[in-house]
Amino acid sequence: MNQKELKELIEFLIEKDIAEFELERGDVKVKIKRAGEAVAPAEVRYVSNPVPSPQAPVAAPQAAMPGAAAGPAEPEEKLHLVASPIVGTFYESPSPGSPPFVKVGDQVTAGQVLCIVEAMKLMNEIESDVSGEVVKLMAKNGQPIEYGQPLFAVRSSK
Amino acid sequence: MATPSLLFSHALAPLLVGSMFADAAQIHHFSLVDSTNTVALRAAADGAPEGSVFVAEEQTSGRGRGDHGWHSEALTGIYCSVILRPQMPPGDVQFFSLAAGLAVHHAVHQVTGLQADLKWPNDLLLAAGPTEVTAPAKKFCGILAEMSSEMSRVRHVVVGFGMNVNNQVFPHAIAHRATSLRLATGQRWRRTLLAAAVLHQFEREYQQLLQNTPGSRAELIRRFEAHSTMAHGRRVRIVGTASAGLPANELTGITAGLDERGFLRLRTADGTQPVLAGSIEFLDD
């Protein structure tokens, strides 16, 4: 996961007011805890263009401040991000015109195919590595995808 | 009249001695399947070993990119998929796409003497017939690779080959762009020999890629370009794809070789950009 994706992830967590988050896929481990109101939320944009983003500071507050969260009364939750292991083109469905593998609100099980990322006629079926509810689609059909780019956010049901 | 040489495992295995595909118990022969890739993917998920081969005399739902099918007439073509379990990052597996195309190029040359033209990433084209050398080339072989991976580890890869060998006619809908080795040469070819040659050549490419050095990839790309007349200077339209930086559904430009990752470079009005995937139409035929 690169600087830009980490920044996007943090922005997403801020937008959804998620206090604690863990991602573990292969070599990539990300753990973020944030306090309620420390960071001004930036606009969340998922650009397909691999233009290097300015080296924005990405350090999220490390020490959680218990009870400091202002605003929504939603309990803190853990969201799982499913990321792409390859550079390629994102497809939401098995073939053009067929229904998408999943949509927001769907319950998925670990190992279920969520999408395809294609690089030069190598089709990579991306599976969910947790069971739970798909809460966000983070890529558009036909969009170019970078290595490690988050594709889906899944609210783990365990 | 020669009897068709069926692709039975006991016919193929002796031709594969010394290769990773030689185990007759792991060569699975079908008279009829939906798609050898589908069967191979299912077997791979159930733990079938690397080097397993799935070969069919006929497919009812041969698959290509997206919603493309593969016309799979009984007893005339080669419909063959293999399971690989390479220990490399998932992002490096795309080189197999190029390697598989090159393998078919070399195998067909070895068996028939024909020089097939590679169309990025791995279609294989031939002049339509011995008397039609000036006509646009038509496709006789397609390859589809499918992968299951974790973030940094490949679980398995299935590479499927669909090759028109002894076809004499094609359905009207594809007749203008499909050909076979028989149509191109005027003679029948033994499918067992061709299938074995493809697997031997593919293993050679595979072993080189497993070394996973920048040198072996650069060499692969150089060889691909040497056997692909469209890699440079052809005006093409790329349909149903994204290129890095432009999620357009269609892109027109001049081909400018392959980049170091094997992506096709396309010179467009907006500059040169790598094409990640897509179907290619020639605009200068």
Find where tokens 């392959």 sit.
Answer: B258
In sequence order, the β-bridge partners of residue B281 are: B237
Give B249's contacts in chain A (Cβ within 8 Å).
142
* Interchain contact, A125 vs B121, CB within 8 Å: no
Residues of chain B where predicted confidence (pLDDT) is lower than 50: 1, 246-247
Per CB distance under 8 Å, which residues of B are interface residues toward A?
65-67, 89-91, 93-94, 96-98, 120-122, 143-153, 157, 240-247, 249, 261-263, 276-278
Q: For residue B4, what pLDDT is reported?
A: 58
Mutate which: B148, B151, B158, B249, vs A, most A CBs within 10 A: B151
Q: For residue B11, what pLDDT is reported?
A: 94
Give A1's contacts in chain B (Cβ within 8 Å).
none
* Interchain contact, B263 vs A120, CB within 8 Å: yes
- Tens-digit pLDDT profile for residues B37-54: 999 999 999 999 999 999
Contact indicator for B193, B245 with CB cutoff of 8 Å: no
How far is Cα B44 from Cα A118, in angstroms, rounded to an integer? Answer: 19
Q: For residue A64, what pLDDT is reported?
A: 37
- Pick the residue from chain B with its C-alpha nearest to A122: B145
Q: For residue A157, what pLDDT is reported?
A: 87
Distance from the Cα of A47 to chain B's closest Cα (Å) equals 9
Q: Is the pLDDT of residue A20 over 60?
A: yes
Give the SS3 label for residue A80.
Answer: strand
Q: For residue B249, what pLDDT is reported?
A: 67
Counted across chains A and B, CB pairs separated by less than 8 A come out at: 120
- Phi first, then psi: what are they for B147, rounded to 5°? -130, 145
Q: For residue B136, what pLDDT is reported?
A: 81
How far is Cα B80 from Cα B143, in angstroms, rounded to an integer? Answer: 10
Mutate which: B42, B70, B265, B276, vs A, most A CBs within 10 A: B276
Smallest Cβ–Cβ distance between A143 and the set B121, B148, B242 belongs to: B242
Of all residues in chain A, the percent with pLDDT exceeding 90 is 45
Instruction: Give whole-number Cα distances, B87 to B97, B207, B212, in Å.
Output: 16, 12, 10
Q: B188-204 burial by CB neighbour count: b if 16+ within 10 A, else e?
A: bbbbbbbbbbbbbbbbe
Q: Is the pLDDT of residue A65 over 60?
A: no
Q: For residue B76, what pLDDT is reported?
A: 96
String of DSSP letters for A8-69:
HHHHHHHHTT--EEEEEETTEEEEEE--SSSSPPPPP----S-PPPP----PPP-S--TT--
Q: For residue A60, what pLDDT is reported?
A: 35
Give A85's contacts in chain B (Cβ within 8 Å).
89-91, 149-152
Q: For residue A38, what pLDDT is reported?
A: 40
Distance from the Cα of A111 to chain B's closest Cα (Å) equals 10
ipTM: 0.92
In this prediction the pTM is: 0.82
Of all residues in chain A, the percent with pLDDT exceeding 70 is 51
Smallest Cβ–Cβ distance between B153 and the set A26, A123, A147 belongs to: A26
Per CB distance under 8 Å, which residues of A are interface residues toward B?
25-28, 48-51, 83, 85-91, 95-98, 118-125, 127, 129, 140, 142-144, 147-148
* Interchain contact, A25 vs B150, CB within 8 Å: yes
* Encoded amino acid at B12, one letter: L
Q: Is the pLDDT of residue A24 over 60?
A: no
Q: Is the pLDDT of residue A39 over 50?
A: no
Find where tokens 């650009």 sit.
Answer: A47
- Tens-digit pLDDT profile for residues B170-210: 999 999 999 999 999 999 999 999 999 999 999 999 999 99
Q: Is the pLDDT of residue A45 over 50?
A: no
Contact indicator for A86, A155 with CB cutoff of 8 Å: no
Task: Count other C-beta atoms under 10 Å from residue A56's C-beta.
Answer: 12
Task: Count other C-beta atoms under 10 Å from residue A22's C-beta.
Answer: 14
- Pick the residue from chain B with its C-alpha nearest to A147: B91
How far is Cα B111 from Cα B185, in angstroms, rounded to an integer? Answer: 12
Domains and CATH numbers, chain A: 35-156 (2.40.50.100)
- Tens-digit pLDDT profile for residues A77-125: 679 999 999 999 999 998 888 899 999 999 999 999 999 999 999 999 9
Q: For residue A40, what pLDDT is reported?
A: 38
